[in-house]
A and B are shown apart, each in its own frame.
Chain A
C-alpha cells in the first residue's frame, strides 16, 4: 500500500473523465500546486494530492508503519472509472458550471443518500446531458455532493414531478454514515 507517483496513463484517463463532466481544465485547477499520488487498495486504486515538497516521502522507509492516507483524498478508480472523493467536491464546486440547485427538502434527503426528483430541482444549466456528473448544491450555496444526471437538462421540464433527475453518487452524509 506504498504511495507512488501517479502513472501518467491513469492520470490522463482521470483528466479526460473529469474534464468531460466538469469542463476543460477542471482537473488542472483542482490539482493546483499539488502532486497526485496513488495507492493500491485491493481492486481499487486511491488517489491523493500532496504538496510537491512531500514527494521525497515516497522514497522514505516508514519502518513498521503503513501509510493509510496523505494530503487531500482525490478519489478512486474502480473498473476504469474515477469516483471523486467527497473532500474534493467543495473545491470542484468553485470551478465548474456543472451544478444543479435543489430545494431544502431535497437537500436534506440527498444527505441521507437519496436521489433528486424533478419536483426538487430548482436550477439546472441547459447544456448538461444525461450521464453527466454534476455537483449538487442548495440555495444557501452549500455543497451537498455529486450526482449523475438521468436525463438531458433540456428535457427536464417535460418530466412528471416524481421522476428521477439525478442519481446520488456521494454526499456529505457519508461522513456520518461511514461511522455507523
Chain B
C-alpha cells in the first residue's frame, strides 16, 4: 500500500475506533492492518483482576482458602509464584478484611512480572524509582524478606501518602521513602545492587483501562516521556553498583519509549548490556520496529500486548552494568 493509502486507511480506522490518527498510523507501520484491528478490539475487552499474595503476611494456601471460602476463585499465573488472576464476582477487591490486613495487593500481572524479572535477593540494597503507589515496592520488600535496604523514591507528595499507606498495610519494614527527583538518584551515593525503574510513560499500554488514552496524548507527549526516560536511565545506571542489575519497564506499547530508548542507551554507553530474563512470559521486544534496525540484544527484553496476552501493554527489559576491569 502507498503512503497516501496508508494515511487514508489510518484516518478511516481512527475515525471508526475513536483513536487519534497518528496512533493508528504507527500501529499500521508496526503491525499491519490485521494486527492493528486485533489490538483495537482487545483494548475494548476487560482486563482480568489480578492479585499478589503478600508473603510478609500470609501464604498461598491460606489466602486461596480464605478467599475461596468467600466464593472468590483464584488461578495462579504460570510464571509468578505469588500472582493470581482473581474472580471477585460482585465483591470489591479492596473492601475485604484480608485486603486491609495486607494479605494481598490488587495489581496487574505485568507489574508483578517486573519485580520477578529484577529477581531481588535478601540483604541487598535496592532502589525503586518512581515508587508510588507502592505495588512494586511492597513486592520487592516481600521478595527481600524485609531484609537489606529498600529505598523508594517518589517526587509527588500526594502519591507518597499512598506509597506509605501501602508499605504499612503490607508490613514492609525495610523501606526508606525519599521524596525527590529520580533523575538525581546518582547524587545519593548508595551503590544499590539492583534498581527498578518503572518509568513514567505515556500509558499507551493502558487503553483498555483508560479509554481516554485514545485521544489524550500527542506524539509530542511521547517524545517528552522518552527524553525523561533517557535521563532517568542514565542517572539510575550511574547510581548502580558495578555488576548490578537494573530492570527498566513502562506501561507503554510505544517503541519510542521502549526499544528506541534502550537502543539509544546502548549507543551512548559501553558499560551496560541487555540480559536475558529467568522467567518466560510475553513476546520478545522488537529489533526492527517501523523497519528501523536496532540492537539485536533487545530481543532479550519482553513485551505484553493486549491482543496477544489479554493484559495491559507493557515493556520489560533487564540490564546489567558491567564491572570495570
A and B are partners in one complex rather than unrelated chains: yes
Interface residues of A (CB under 8 A from B): 51, 54, 57, 62-73, 85-87, 90, 107, 111, 142-143, 172-173, 175-176, 178-179
Q: Which of A70, A178, A179 contacts B177 (CB 8 A)?
A: A70
- Tell me which residues from 132 to 179 in chain B have a Cβ below 8 Å from any Cβ of chain A: 149, 153, 160-162, 164-169, 171, 173-179
Report the Cα distance A142→B101, complex, angstroms: 8
Report the Cα distance A179→B160, complex, angstroms: 11
Q: Which of A62, A68, A85, A107 contacts B168 (CB 8 A)?
A: A85
| Chain B contacts for A66, CB-based, 8 A | 178-180
The distance from the CB of A141 to the nearest CB of chain B, in whole angstroms, is: 11
| Chain A contacts for B149, CB-based, 8 A | 54
Q: Is the CB of A65 within 8 A of B179?
A: yes
With contacts A65-B153, A70-B175 taken as known, whether A176 is within 8 angstroms of B180 at the C-beta atoms is no
Q: Is the CB of A69 within 8 A of B181?
A: no
The distance from the CB of A117 to the nearest CB of chain B, in whole angstroms, is: 20
Q: Ordered nearest first, which 9 A-B pairs have the shortest CB separation?
A: A65-B180, A87-B168, A63-B187, A172-B100, A68-B177, A65-B178, A175-B169, A70-B176, A66-B179
Report the Cα distance A129→B18, complex, angstroms: 65
**Any chain A CB within 8 A of the CB of B94?**
yes
Report the Cα distance A86→B173, complex, angstroms: 13
Q: Which of A57, A64, A73, A90 contacts B181 (CB 8 A)?
A: A64
**Any chain A CB within 8 A of the CB of B220?**
no
Q: Is the CB of A86 within 8 A of B168?
A: yes
- Tell me which residues from 234 to 265 in chain B have a Cβ below 8 Å from any Cβ of chain A: none
Report the Cα distance A67→B177, complex, angstroms: 6
Contact with A along B110-121 (1 / 0, CB 8 A): 000000000000
Q: Is the CB of A68 within 8 A of B162?
A: no
- Tell me which residues from 171 to 228 in chain B have a Cβ below 8 Å from any Cβ of chain A: 171, 173-181, 184, 187-188
Q: Is the CB of A67 within 8 A of B176?
A: yes
Report the Cα distance A173→B168, complex, angstroms: 12
Q: Which of B166, B173, B176 contacts A57 (CB 8 A)?
A: B176
The distance from the CB of B169 to the nearest CB of chain A, in whole angstroms, is: 4
The distance from the CB of A149 to the nearest CB of chain B, in whole angstroms, is: 23
Q: Which of B99, B102, B164, B173 contacts A68 (CB 8 A)?
A: B164
| Chain A contacts for B176, CB-based, 8 A | 54, 57, 67, 69-71
Report the Cα distance A72→B169, complex, angstroms: 11
With contacts A54-B149, A62-B178 taken as known, whether A69 is within 8 angstroms of B184 at the C-beta atoms is no
Q: Is the CB of B164 within 8 A of A69?
A: yes
Q: With a 10 A CB-CB cut-off, give which of B153, B167, B178 has the most chain A CB atoms.
A: B178
Q: Is the CB of B100 within 8 A of A111?
A: yes
Closest to A66 in B: B179
Q: Is the CB of A63 within 8 A of B184?
A: yes
Report the Cα distance A62→B127, complex, angstroms: 14
Closest to B99 in A: A176
| Chain A contacts for B97, CB-based, 8 A | 107, 111, 142, 172
Q: Is the CB of A69 within 8 A of B177?
A: yes
Report the Cα distance A119→B203, complex, angstroms: 51
19 CB-based A-B contacts, threshold 8 Å = A63-B180, A64-B181, A65-B179, A65-B187, A66-B178, A67-B178, A69-B167, A70-B177, A71-B173, A71-B176, A72-B173, A87-B168, A90-B171, A172-B169, A175-B102, A175-B169, A176-B95, A176-B100, A178-B162
9 additional A-B pairs beyond A70-B175, A71-B173, A90-B171, beta carbons within 8 Å, are: A57-B176, A64-B184, A65-B184, A68-B177, A68-B179, A173-B100, A175-B169, A176-B94, A179-B162
Q: Is the CB of B165 within 8 A of A68?
A: no
Q: Is the CB of A178 within 8 A of B161?
A: yes
Report the Cα distance A65→B168, complex, angstroms: 21
| Chain A contacts for B173, CB-based, 8 A | 71-72
| Chain A contacts for B164, CB-based, 8 A | 68-69, 73
| Chain A contacts for B171, CB-based, 8 A | 87, 90
Closest to B154 in A: A68
Q: Which of B100, B175, B177, B180 contacts A175 (CB 8 A)?
A: B100
Q: Is the CB of B168 within 8 A of A73?
A: yes
